[in-house]
Amino acid sequence: MSEMNTKDFLIGSLIGGIVGASAALLLAPKSGKELRNDLNEQAQLAKEKTTQLTSTAYDKGNEWASYAKEKSASIAKVVSDQSAQVVDKVKEVTSNVKADAEETKELADELAGEVGEAQEEVKETVKREVDEIQAKIEEEASQTK
């Protein structure tokens, strides 16, 4: 036996005590009246001890049940609070990611518009410069004729 159950030990001790006391009373040289009195006293003592043990076991059981109830309520509250915090963090991160995505889209649209405008400006500048160069070439050609 690696572990002995406390309840079994107490029951065994109680039964052993009762059997031992009974054997001592029965084997002792006493008169019938004395023996009956002794048996009644021993039975009364056994009853009182049993009542006391029952009361103690009941009190300890209630104490442990109350302790377990308090601890489980405390743990449930901590888990609930932490879950709420995690949900809040997830919502916050999600809203931040959504806001960042919208801002990135707006910046991309703005950049595309700016690139389009810059492209038009470059196109006009190149056309104007080509026209100026062509005009100079025509002017030089007319002067050389």
Does 71 fall in a domain?
Answer: yes
In a domain, 1, yes or no: no
Structural domain count of the chain: 1
pLDDT at 2: 44
What secondary structure letter does DSSP report for 22? H
Helix (H/G/I), strand (E/B), else coil: 19: helix
Helix, strand, or coil (residue 29): coil
The per-residue pLDDT for 81 is 93
74-100 core/surface letters (b: 16 or more CB in 10 A; e: else)? eeeeeeeeeeeeeeeeeeeeeeeeeee
Among 34, 31, 35, 33, smallest CA distance to 23 is for 35
Give the global pTM.
0.41
pLDDT tens readout for residues 56-101: 988 998 999 999 999 999 999 999 999 999 999 999 999 999 888 8
- pLDDT for position 89: 93
Place of tokens 């030089």: 140
Predicted confidence band of residue 28 (pLDDT cuts 50, 70, 90): low
DSSP letter string over 62-120? Answer: HHHHHHHHHHHHHHHHHHHHHHHHHHHHHHHHHHHHHHHHHHHHHHHHHHHHHHHHHHH
Q: What is the pLDDT of residues 124-134, one digit of tens each?
A: 888 888 888 88
Mean pLDDT, the chain, integer = 85
Q: Which domain holds residue 55?
A: 6-144
Give domain status of residue 15, yes or no: yes
User: How far is it, in rounded angstroms, from Cα 66 to Cα 53?
Assistant: 20
